[in-house]
Structure 1
Amino acid sequence: MDKIEKGNNGAPIGQSSQPMVQRPRDEDDTPALRRAEPFARLVPMALCVAALVVMLKNSETNDSGSVSYSDLGAFRYLVHANGICAGYSLLSAIIAAVPRPFTMSQAWTFFFLDQVLTYLILAAGAVSAEVLYLEQKGDLAITWSSACGTFAGFCHKATASVIITFVAVAYYAVLSLFSSYKLFSKYDAPVITYPTTKGIEIPPVFDG
C-alpha cells in the first residue's frame, strides 16, 4: 500500500489544510479615488433625470390630434428605466461617500448592480430608438406611417430624451468597468494547493 507522509496538523504533505478564502489586498483605495467615485456616480443620475423629465413633458396637440409619450410602451419603459437608474445612482453615491472600509460584499454588490443597471437602461434606449425610427421613417410592411411630419415637436423631444439616455448608458458602462476593476484588483482569487507526489511511496513494478 502507498504510504502518505502527514504533517503535524494531520494533513498530507503537499496539500493545504486551510479553507480557500479570498483575501483583500493590503492597499486601500487612494483618498482621491474615494472622493471622485461619489461624484462619478452622480453624473448618470443627472442624465437620467434629464431624460426622464424631457420625456414626461413630451406631448403635442394640433389639428391632426394629440400624442403623448404614454401612448407608446417603449417611451413609458424609458421613463421607468431612467427613474430606477437615477434612484440607484443617488443611493450608490451616498454609500460610496460614507467613510468606511470597502468590504468584499460591497464590492460584489456594486459590481452586480452596475452591470444590471447598464443593461436595463441600454435596453430602454435601444427599444425607444427603434420606435423613434419608425415614427420618423414609418414601415409600410406593417402599415406604420410616419408621424414626425405631423408631430414634429413630439419627435424632437423624444429624440433628445433618447440621446441623453445613451449618454447615460456610456457613463454606466464606465462605472461597470470601474466597479469590476475595484473588485478584481482588490481581492485575490482563491488559493488552491493541489497534492503532489512528494512523500508518496510507489511500489516497484516487476515485469513478467
Structure 2
Amino acid sequence: MAEKMEKGGAMVVENEHDDQSGKISSMRTAETLLRLLPMGLCVAALTVMLKNSQTNNDFGSISYSNLGAFKYLVHANGICAGYSLLSAVVTAVPRPSTMSRAWTFFFLDQLLTYVILGAGAVSTEVVYLAYKGDEAITWSAACGSFGGFCHKATASVSITFVVMLCYAALSLISSYRLFSRFDPPSSHSSSKGTEMTARLP
C-alpha cells in the first residue's frame, strides 16, 4: 500500500512539473511572437516612409529625406526592427533566467520604447503642421498640394505608434520579470528589527 502511495505521489509531482514546463514554454512562445510583431510593423513603417516622395508641377518635389523628423523615424524603426529580431531569437532559446539577462532586457526595452515614442511624437508634429500650417510663422499647409505625401506620412506615423504600444507591453513584461525576482522583507526580520528598536534607550 505504501509503495502504491509513493508511486501516486511521484506521479502527481511529475504531472505538476510537466504542467509548469508547459506553462513556461507557452509563455516563452507568446513573448517571442510579441517581440516579432514590432519587427514587421517597423519594417512596414520605414518602407512606407522610404517610398514617400511626390512631385508637383507648381511647387516642385518633396521627399521624406527633406525633413529631419521623418529621417529620424526611419532610423528609429530600423533600429527597433533589428532589436526585435535579436531579442526574439534570444527569447526563443530556452535558457535559465539570470539577473544580468533580466536587467539587459529591462534596460533595452525601456530605451527602445522611448526612442520609438520620440520618433512618433516629432513626426506627428510635422504631419500636423503639413495639414494645418502655422499662421504665426507664415507656414502654409502643404497637404493641399502634396496630398499623397501626407497620406503616406500619416500611415507611417500611425504604424510607429502601434510599435510603441508593443514596446510598452514588452517593457511591462520585462519590468515584471526583473522586479518580481526581489523578495519582500520577511516578517521575521521586520519583527526582529522592531524588537531591537524597542530595546534602544
Query: TM-score higher than 0.5 here?
Result: yes
Equivalent of residue 131 in structure 2, options 131, 136, 139: 136
**2:151 & 2:185 partners in 1: Cα distance?**
53
1:81 corresponding residue in structure 2: 76
**1:32 & 1:87 partners in 2: Cα distance?**
24
Measured at CA, do residues 135 and 201 of structure 1 come closer, stay the same or move farther in structure 2, by a change above 3 Å? closer
State the superposition RMSD in angstroms.
2.2
Unaligned runs of 5+ in 1: 1-26, 203-208
Measured at CA, do residues 81 and 201 of structure 1 come closer, stay the same or move farther in structure 2, by a change above 3 Å? closer
Tell whether 2:109 aligns with 1:114: yes
- Residue by residue over 1:111-150, the C-alpha shift from the partner in whole angstroms, topping out at 9 and shown as x without a partner, is 1111111011001001100000000110011121111000
Unaligned runs of 5+ in 2: 1-19
**1:69 & 1:197 partners in 2: Cα distance?**
67
Matched residue pairs, number? 175
- Residue by residue over 1:45-74, the C-alpha shift from the partner in whole angstroms, topping out at 9 and shown as x without a partner, is 111111000000000012021000000000
**2:65 & 2:50 partners in 1: Cα distance?**
8
- Secondary structure of the 1:197 match is helix
Q: How does 1:1-208 map to 2 (within 5 A)?
A: 30-63=24-57, 64-188=59-183, 197=196
**Structure showing greater relative contact order (alpha-carbon pairs closer than 8 Å, 6 or more residues apart):** 1
TM-score where L is the length of structure 1: 0.78
- Secondary structure of the 1:186 match is coil
Instruction: Give 1:197 shift.
Output: 3.4
TM-score where L is the length of structure 2: 0.80
Instruction: Give 1:201 shift.
Output: 9.6
Structure whose CA Rg is larger: 1
